[in-house]
């Protein structure tokens, strides 16, 4: 039996999630679907996204997938409109999609800079632009922007990613003010060193796991589910008077 919280306010509530086919995004999709939300999610990975949607649908949950490159603003906003047609106007938006590709700052070109900003920051603004009118019409909603502790702890070899993730805090604060009178809440969720399969495949070695745990105040390692459960709280009516804030899920590593 699960010991985690159930949120009645999330039942049947339309939610849009970017980057939902794997990693933290997949955990978000699974957790919101399990709460009875109507989940629409996008990802560039078509096979994984379709497989996840089919699995959840066969289990009696509501999950709709659209293959989309979030750097294509028109396609992203079209996908969001498609979810609204199927599920109703989004009451929850989770801007999760990102790409933490390592890079050498001295070799960055203007085109690479623009591409990194597009996948890590730009799409979040235009997704907000797409959902906000419907949220306001429906009486309000919750927007959750994913940040990162990487810029707080000065992780090497990802300076553009860190710049974009730091900017997520500015986007959160500004849009919380812009949208607050429409009863739309905007917050940032800031993961620490979440151990996903991608991180293990590409970046994290056994010695890195020991180093990560040494930096944390808590023992053990963060999972994608730890982030998803914070997102559930920030999306639910339980957090109705919380906006413009950032919430670290990092086992006590970073100083915010």
**Percent of all residues in the chain with a pLDDT value above 90, rounded to a whole number:** 89
pLDDT of residue 203: 66
pLDDT confidence tier of residue 255, bands split at 50, 70 and 90:
confident
CA–CA distance, 87 with 39 (Å, rounded to integer) = 8
7 catalytic? Reply is no
In degrees, to the nearest 5, what angle opens at C-alpha 92 toward C-alphas 89 and 94? 125
Mean pLDDT over residues 71-79, rounded? 98
Strand pairing class (38-43; 246-249): unpaired
Is residue 140, in this structure, part of any structural domain at all?
Answer: yes
Q: Evaluate whether residue 128 is within a structural domain.
A: yes
Q: Is residue 159 part of a domain?
A: yes
Q: In this structure, is residue 15 part of a structural domain?
A: yes
Q: What is the CA radius of gyration of the chain?
A: 17
Structure confidence by residue, pLDDT tens digits, 129-181 = 999 999 999 999 999 999 999 999 999 999 999 999 999 999 999 999 999 99
Reduced to 3 states (helix: H, G, I; strand: E, B; else coil), residue 242 is coil
- Look at residue 202 and tell me if it is in a domain: no
pLDDT band at 197 (very low <50, low <70, confident <90, very high): confident
- Could you tell me if residue 41 is inside a domain? yes
- Domain count for the chain, please give it: 1
Active-site residue identified among 32, 161, 247, 253: 161
Residue 198: what pLDDT?
Answer: 77
Residue 25, classified by CB atoms within 10 Å of its CB into exposed (0-12), middle (13-18) or buried (19+), is: buried
Mean pLDDT over all residues of the chain?
95
Question: Domain range for residue 30?
Answer: 10-192+224-239
Per-residue pLDDT reduced to its tens digit, 176-192: 999 999 999 999 999 99
Residue 38 lies in a domain: yes
Beta bridge partners of residue 62, listed in sequence order = 38
Q: What is the CATH number of the domain that holds 69?
A: 3.40.50.720
Q: What is the DSSP letter of 237?
A: G
pLDDT tens digits, residue range 205-232? 777 888 899 999 999 999 999 999 999 9
């Amino acid at each position: 039996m699960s010991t985690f919280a159930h949120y009645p306010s999330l039942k049947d509530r339309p939610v849009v999630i970017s980057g939902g086919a794997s990693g933290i995004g997949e955990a978000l999709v699974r957790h919101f679907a399990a709460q009875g939300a109507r989940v629409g999610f996008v990802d560039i990975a078509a096979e994984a996204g379709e497989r996840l949607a089919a699995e959840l649908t066969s289990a009696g949950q509501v999950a709709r997938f659209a293959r989309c490159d979030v750097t294509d603003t028109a396609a992203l906003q079209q996908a969001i409109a498609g979810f609204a047609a199927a599920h109703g106007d989004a009451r929850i938006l989770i801007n999760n999609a990102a790409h933490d590709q390592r890079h050498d700052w001295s070799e960055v070109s203007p085109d690479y800079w623009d591409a990194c900003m597009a996948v890590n920051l730009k799409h979040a603004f235009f997704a907000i632009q797409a959902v906000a009118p419907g949220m306001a019409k429906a009486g309000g909603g919750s927007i959750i922007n994913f940040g990162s502790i990487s810029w707080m702890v000065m992780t090497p070899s990802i300076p553009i990613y860190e710049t974009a993730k730091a900017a997520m805090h500015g986007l959160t604060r500004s849009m919380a003010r812009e949208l607050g009178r429409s009863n739309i809440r905007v917050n940032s969720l800031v993961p620490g060193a979440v151990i996903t399969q991608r991180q293990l495949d590409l970046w994290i070695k056994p010695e890195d796991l020991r180093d990560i745990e040494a930096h944390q105040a808590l023992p053990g390692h963060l999972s994608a589910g730890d982030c998803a459960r914070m997102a559930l709280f920030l999306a639910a009516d339980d957090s109705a008077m919380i906006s413009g804030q950032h919430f670290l899920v990092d086992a006590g590593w970073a100083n915010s």
